């Protein structure tokens, strides 16, 4: 289980003093990129080799609140990997209370960087990144 930890920043909260719902997608993206950096390779390095990983879908469940300066952790699991597409599961906990505040999933696909074109050609991670592909297979939640 991979954990990403930090504290809630003031700008992430709304007028009610809790993390605004839109910021959870940013938080899980931070956690996913850190997961990628530690488990596959630095995301910037992936991009320099012509690979981008756009989001295909995301779902969220808000269960409890996080407030300014609350310490929290994001647990990230690779739920599914198919060589072209992968799905992550997330849980966000308040580190002080251990309250489960959020659950969610996001799906992503591998694509070739192609400038400003709207069409993104799929990239076979299995073929183009064979060593990293093996790592991903070993990381899928069993």
CATH of the domain at 16: 3.10.129.10
Number of separate domains in the chain: 1
Is 116 a residue whose pLDDT tops 70?
no
For residue 107, give its domain range. Answer: 2-139
**Chain segment 10-31, per-residue pLDDT in tens:** 999 999 999 999 999 999 999 9
Say which of 14, 42, 64, 69 is annotated catalytic: 14
Q: Could you confirm whether 64 is annotated as catalytic?
A: no
**Chain segment 46-95, per-residue pLDDT in tens:** 999 989 999 999 999 999 999 999 999 999 999 999 888 999 999 999 99
For residue 1, what pLDDT is reported?
87
Does residue 93 contact residue 75 with C-beta atoms inside 8 Å? yes
Cα–Cα distance for residue pair 48/46, rounded to 1 Å: 5
Please give the model's pTM, rounded to 2 decimal places: 0.92
- Picking from 50, 59, 68, 70, the residue whose alpha carbon sits closest to that of residue 114 is 50
């Amino acid at each position: 289980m991979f954990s990403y930890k930090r504290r809630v920043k003031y700008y992430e909260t709304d007028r009610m003093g809790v993390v605004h719902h839109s910021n959870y997608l940013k938080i899980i993206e931070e956690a996913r990129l850190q997961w990628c950096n530690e488990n596959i390779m630095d995301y910037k390095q992936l991009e320099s080799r012509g690979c981008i990983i756009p989001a295909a879908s995301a779902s969220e469940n808000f269960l409890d609140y996080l407030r300014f300066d609350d310490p929290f952790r994001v647990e990230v699991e690779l739920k599914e990997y198919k060589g072209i597409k992968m799905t992550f599961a997330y849980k966000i906990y308040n580190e002080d209370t251990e309250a489960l505040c959020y659950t969610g999933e996001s799906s992503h696909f591998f694509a070739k960087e192609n400038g400003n074109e709207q069409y993104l050609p799929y990239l076979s991670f299995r073929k183009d990144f064979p060593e990293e592909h093996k790592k991903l297979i070993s990381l899928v939640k069993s």
